[in-house]
Amino acid sequence: MHDSSISLIELGAVFFGLGVLGRLAWRIGVSPIPLYLIGGLAFGAGGLVPLAGIEGFTEIASEIGVVLLLLLLGLEYSAAELVTGLKRSWVAGVVDIVLNAVPGAAVALWLGWGPVGALAMAGVTYISSSGIIAKVLGDLGRLGNRETPVVLSILVFEDLAMAVYLPILTALLAGATLLGGLTAVGVSLVAVTVVLVIALRFGRYVSVLVDSPEPEVFLLRVLGAALLVAGLASQLQVSAAVGAFLLGIAISGSTAENATKLLEPLRDLFAAMFFVVFGLNTDPSSIPPVLGFAVALAVVTTVTKIGTGWFAASRQGIATLGKARAGAALVARGEFSIVIAGLAVSAGAVDKQLAALATAYVLLMAVIGPVAARVVEPVTRVFMRKPRPATA
């Protein structure tokens, strides 16, 4: 059979399988990310039925998936919201970094992966999954709750932290010197500042540049601009993901809303491929040796994320039940943890077991997060219930 025919059959099977897994995930009330990763593990190197001949498409599709994930994340925020969120949450944000990045870094150093591996694992355990959290809050009807702005402000801080963290990680993975790393940080900070200023003062012009009444033209402009900016950012060692995120911030108003609606199906398609590719590149036999560390990290960072949300909510004078809900909402890790691990492993600068540990960790946290958000309220009510006085 012709090679292209085999590739089409394999791609068709992959996409159809993803559709089945996605439907199953939403039926049982969990994020599809763990199932996508398991699907990749099953059909990758060392899996049940290794696929071959589609590597070229899947690799570029996964890159586009990362760009679209960060672009749509940026579209969710205006520059004013980012600035306000940063002012409101910077103290809790610093606490978040300390409590949740340190465990990942400590495990990486314990396993002998060196400073770069420690930096990568710190990001894996630090960043919460905005996608999973937004989905869970919507499903549980908590978007209007008093603690929800606190959760969102923490997520905003984490996203801005990523705009600084990713260039540093990218530079170190590329073997840059200390001067090169500092240059990458400087370029990143300048880029973030310039984009925020442009978005605050001239955001409407950026929106006009990509806007169009014809959906086809609009899609081509937004997607083309995202890929161009991501590519240029990558050339400057700022990270393609950060470039896409900054472009999303610069697009505002109705243009951002329309772009989100138009791009969401594409994001979901290519993001699913990204998770599958990560699974394809991870040997399932490498997971058991690090499974204990993944479980330990899951337990520790569940507690530390709950502590982060509790602390942030307490600073806003929120009651006990709201503080518990805020903490549990932040537990889930997902897409960005895998993005960080993918960058680290693809660069070849860290131990390949990092992919296995990140996969096992995200599989656990993408399930624990939604479950914790659902059960935290009844559990907290039980502990808050006062004991009845003894009767004579």
Q: What is the pLDDT of residues 116-161, one digit of tens each?
A: 899 999 999 999 987 778 778 877 788 778 888 888 788 878 877 8
Q: Which two tokens stand for residue 54?
A: 């589609």
Q: Report pTM.
A: 0.77
181 pLDDT higher than 80: no
pLDDT digits 0-9 by tens, 213-256: 888 999 999 999 889 888 887 776 666 777 787 788 788 778 88
- For residues 360 and 291, is the Cβ–Cβ distance under 8 A? yes
Go through the domains of the chain in sequence order and give each one's CATH number.
13-49+78-379 (1.20.1530.20)
Question: What dihedral angle (degrees, nearest 10) is formed by the CA atoms of 107, 152, 199, 64?
Answer: 50
Dist CA 222 CA 216 (whole Å): 10
pLDDT, residue 41, reads 79
209 pLDDT higher than 80: yes
pLDDT digits 0-9 by tens, 286-337: 889 999 999 999 999 999 999 999 999 998 889 889 999 999 999 989 878 8
84 pLDDT higher than 90: no
Residue type, 374: R
pLDDT digits 0-9 by tens, 40-78: 877 766 555 666 666 667 778 878 887 888 788 778 766
Give 51's DSSP letter.
-
pLDDT, residue 49, reads 62
